[in-house]
Amino acid sequence: MHKDSKIYVAGHRGMVGSAICRKLQANGFNNIIARTSAELDLRNQQAVLDFFAAEKPDYVFLAAARVGGIHANNTYRADFLYDNLMIEANIIHAAYLQQVTKLMFLGSSCIYPKMAPQPLKEEYLLAGPLEPTNEPYAIAKIAGIKLCEAYRDQYGCNFISVMPTNLYGYNDNYDLNNSHVLPALIRKFHEAKENGAAEVVVWGTGSPKREFLFADDLADACLYLMEHYNERELVNIGTGEDISIRELALLVKEVTGFKGELVFDTTKPDGTPRKLMDVSKLHNTGYRHKIELHEGIALAYADFKEKHTAKALS
């Protein structure tokens, strides 16, 4: 990419998209175009086609998606499947029509089979049944990967796919019903500390293991791969290290300064037993993450306190 290349970041106000924008600007890429969902409904094909025809971006980071945790994925199954299918199909097709130089599609580690061997290698895609609670979201993301492959195969488009592990960081979603586990824990422990609560209840048994990557490290990896990776096959982006939910909760408890007890509600679902990414392909390109989990949680907690505790969270 040249410093004056026109770069469209779809989903620029989300945690991932905003991190990509920050990383681009920090590296001297200032010709960034973006639209809010109020300005451009990415589910509307004609609106997306008109936007691409008018703006003609050179590069596209497709980070726009409808996202959420176990509860949101399992409750809004139709919305998660429909919205994500429409968003990715409209953008990828418009990018082909306008001859975009390169597009990066961002998926999710939930694309892999529920009981796939660990760590998750890229070739395990479609090797078995998915985790039922987030199957609609996973199917949409798999469709996005296959769209990129198909447009490459049929039309020669340089469309690549990357699969991030669980993410957290600045501009995260802290809604207790619709957020992912780490931001939910940050909010729970913070509010428990503020309210003088005796305990914090965590969903599940605490035994599932998860890998976490700071969103700014993901953005760093995305920029790196946009400039250095041009292959058909998807690439996992993660740390290659995981931690149990129990250990994670204890870490968040320490960072937030909560002094009470930790209780696990075993009537709530655990989700996938383990999700650790095999990141050897990423490491072989020369990229490694920089921000470790304790430091990242402290950064996220500071961001949460600055942006969310000043106003009442509904």
Peptide bond into 269 cis (omega under 30): no
Decide if pLDDT at 163 tops 80.
Answer: yes
Domain 181-208+242-276+292-307 has CATH 3.90.25.10: yes
- Is the per-residue pLDDT at 312 higher than 70? no
List pLDDT tens digits, range 219-258. 999 999 999 999 999 999 999 999 999 999 999 999 999 9
Fold classification of 7-169+213-237 is Rossmann fold (3.40.50)
Question: Which candidate in 137, 170, 174, 229 is catalytic?
Answer: 137
> Can 137 be counted among the known catalytic residues?
yes
pTM metric for this prediction: 0.92
Binding-site residues for NADP(+) sit at 11-17, 106-109, 141, 164-167, 180
Backbone angles phi, psi at 163, to 5 degrees: -120, 100
Residue extents of the structural domains in the chain: 7-169+213-237, 181-208+242-276+292-307
Residue 220 in tokens: 């760093």
Q: What is the average pLDDT across 32-49?
A: 97
Question: For all residues of the chain together, what is the average pLDDT?
Answer: 94
- Residues tagged in the binding site annotation: 11-17, 106-109, 141, 164-167, 180, 188, 203, 210, 270
Integer angstrom CA distances of residue 242 from 58, 89, 116, 120, 265: 36, 32, 16, 12, 22
Six token digits for residue 36: 């809010």
Q: What is the pLDDT of residue 179?
A: 72
Binding-site residue ranges for substrate: 188, 203, 210, 270
Please report, for residues 9, 46, 54, the alpha-carbon distance to residue 40 in angstroms, rounded to integers and kept in the order given: 13, 10, 13
Q: Which of 170, 1, 194, 8 is nearest to 98 (CA)?
A: 8
* Percentage of residues of the chain with pLDDT beyond 70: 98
